[in-house]
């Protein structure tokens, strides 16, 4: 994936893709018209990603891996899921019960994690996958079917939260960044600074930004952010806030009777995320391994994401009765969970197989180096009734 690609470098659409994008755009234009001519960006993002049968995550296009738009850590290397499995095994030893994975992509992490848990003799009672995309659920089933029957028989799929609270572990890898975000712009300077929403309108056949009244929820959320920052933000400052974190984490908390939720995503604590030098926000679109910042093109064909405010996640967890058990960079978490010993074992097993050794080293670098995923991605652990030390956070616990 390249960074901040010029729109002129994006691959051209096929006729089929162009037709699908137009169907999605027409659906959103009609919705905007029915709403009086403008909608909040979070509503636009929700439609572009999740409109039934049309949105990016609802239609059947390939999203993950080399043939898709981006590659997640589990697809880079099984080392990621195997390290994660060691932390999961530690928790299951205390809690027993199940693993619930939210948004399992192609099923790669589930398959690798289950294989490692079997090797550690710590399989969960059930491995449940909550997946809202029927297309991705089918791909996951195909991947899980390749596992030994004694492992695959433990896996089941859900399309909504379980009916009863669980003991065990909840996993969410790159789920938070895909939640719809509201965009805002600050007008004026403190103390009279005003919050304005950046919404979406239609000009001709294209989408365009439109400043709107923020509404009480967005206005209060942004003011809460401003009140806790160490420095004022300038006039014209643009950024995002996810209003969905509170209800989503409240739902997660209601599911967790005893255990730990591990959330892995790219983002920062609030004071670093909302920095005066980051005045254009963190909104990014991903299409064929290129990143750009225009959410109004390739509608329904590209992912739309924003960096996670992990302070907001922690606040939502506290409000829902969950405890923050740890917060670290992905690199620090993997080191704590045993990456070095696991990589050494794999290197020894590779022997004189130079290509295999080079591949393993390259995978580890992508997962752990600061310029790759090592520092951009963070891991936060939220728990209920869990008081044991967690190996993944033994080398680092960042401030929120």
Q: Dump pLDDT digits (tens) for 253-270.
A: 999 999 999 999 999 999
Q: Under a CB-based contact definition with an 8 Å cutoff, are residues 17 and 301 in contact? A: yes
Q: What's the CATH code of the domain at 302?
A: 3.40.50.12710
Q: Under a CB-based contact definition with an 8 Å cutoff, are residues 209 and 295 in contact? A: no
Domain that holds residue 304: 7-56+180-245+271-309
3-state secondary structure of 56: coil
Q: Quote the pLDDT of residue 1.
A: 35
Task: Read off the pTM.
Answer: 0.94
Q: What's the half-sphere exposure (Cβ side, CA atoms, 13 Å) at 399?
A: 2
On whether both 143 and 258 belong to a single domain, the answer is: yes
Higher pLDDT, 86 or 191: 86
CA dihedral 398, 174, 12, 30 (to 10 degrees): -110
Longest dimension (CA), the chain: 67
Evaluate the CA torsion angle 260, 263, 264, 269 in order and state its sign: negative
On whether both 110 and 150 belong to a single domain, the answer is: yes
DSSP string, 254-285: HHEEEEEEEEEEEEE-HHHHS-TT-TT---EE
Confidence of residue 3 (pLDDT cuts 50, 70, 90): very low
- The answer to the question of residue 315 being in a domain is no
Q: Give the integer Cα–Cα distance in Å for 368 and 301.
A: 29
Mean pLDDT of the chain: 94
Q: Give the integer Cα–Cα distance in Å for 293 and 8.
A: 13
Confidence of residue 67 (pLDDT cuts 50, 70, 90): low
Residue 71 has pLDDT above 90, yes or no: no
Q: Give the integer Cα–Cα distance in Å for 166 and 261.
A: 11
User: How many domains is the chain built from?
Assistant: 2
On whether both 227 and 123 belong to a single domain, the answer is: no
Higher pLDDT, 311 or 132: 311
On whether both 88 and 107 belong to a single domain, the answer is: yes
On whether both 153 and 253 belong to a single domain, the answer is: yes
Q: What is the pLDDT of residues 107-153, one digit of tens each?
A: 999 999 999 999 999 999 999 999 988 888 999 999 999 999 999 99
Confidence of residue 374 (pLDDT cuts 50, 70, 90): very high
Confidence of residue 6 (pLDDT cuts 50, 70, 90): low
Q: Under a CB-based contact definition with an 8 Å cutoff, are residues 350 and 360 in contact? A: yes
Q: Under a CB-based contact definition with an 8 Å cutoff, are residues 74 and 4 in contact? A: no
On whether both 335 and 288 belong to a single domain, the answer is: no
In b/e form, how buried is each residue of 107-141, taking b as 16+ CB within 10 angstroms?
bbbbbbbbbbbbebebbbebbbbbbebeebbebbe
On whether both 302 and 197 belong to a single domain, the answer is: yes
- The answer to the question of residue 333 being in a domain is yes
Q: Quote the pLDDT of residue 236.
A: 97
- The answer to the question of residue 240 being in a domain is yes
- The answer to the question of residue 363 being in a domain is yes
Q: Give the integer Cα–Cα distance in Å for 265 and 376.
A: 8
């Amino acid at each position: 994936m390249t960074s901040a690609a010029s729109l002129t470098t994006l691959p051209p659409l096929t006729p089929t893709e162009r037709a699908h994008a137009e169907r999605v755009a027409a659906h959103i234009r009609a919705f905007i018209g029915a709403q009086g001519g403008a909608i909040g960006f979070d509503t636009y993002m929700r439609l572009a990603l999740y409109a039934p049968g049309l949105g990016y995550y609802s239609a059947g296009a390939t999203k993950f891996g080399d043939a898709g738009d981006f590659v997640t850590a589990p697809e880079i290397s099984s080392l990621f899921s195997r390290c994660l499995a060691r932390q999961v095994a530690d928790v299951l030893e205390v809690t027993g019960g199940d693993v619930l994975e939210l948004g399992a992509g192609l099923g790669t992490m589930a398959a690798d994690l289950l294989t490692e848990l079997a090797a550690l003799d710590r399989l969960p009672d059930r491995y449940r996958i909550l997946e809202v995309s029927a297309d991705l659920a089918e791909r996951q089933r195909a991947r899980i079917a390749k596992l030994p029957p004694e492992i695959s028989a433990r896996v089941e799929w859900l399309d909504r939260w379980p009916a009863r609270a669980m003991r065990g572990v909840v996993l969410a890898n790159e789920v938070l960044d895909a939640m719809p975000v509201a965009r805002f712009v600050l007008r004026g300077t403190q103390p009279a600074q005003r919050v304005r929403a950046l919404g979406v309108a239609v000009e001709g056949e294209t989408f365009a930004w439109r400043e709107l009244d923020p509404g009480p929820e967005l206005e209060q959320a942004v003011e809460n952010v401003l009140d806790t920052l160490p420095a004022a933000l300038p006039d014209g400052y643009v950024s995002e806030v996810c209003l969905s974190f509170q209800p989503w984490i409240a739902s997660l908390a209601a599911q967790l009777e005893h255990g730990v939720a591990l959330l892995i995503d790219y983002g920062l604590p609030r004071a670093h995320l909302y920095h005066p030098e980051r005045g254009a926000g963190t909104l990014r679109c991903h299409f064929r391994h290129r990143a750009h910042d225009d959410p109004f093109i390739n509608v329904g064909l590209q992912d739309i994401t924003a960096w996670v405010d992990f302070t907001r996640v922690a606040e939502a967890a506290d409000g829902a009765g969950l405890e923050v058990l740890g917060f670290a960079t992905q690199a620090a978490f993997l080191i704590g969970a045993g990456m070095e010993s696991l990589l050494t074992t794999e290197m020894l097993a590779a022997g004189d197989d130079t290509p295999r050794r080079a591949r393993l080293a390259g995978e580890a670098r992508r997962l752990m180096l600061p310029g790759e995923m090592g520092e951009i991605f963070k891991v936060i652990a939220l728990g209920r009734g869990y008081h044991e030390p967690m190996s993944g956070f033994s080398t680092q616990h960042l401030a929120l």
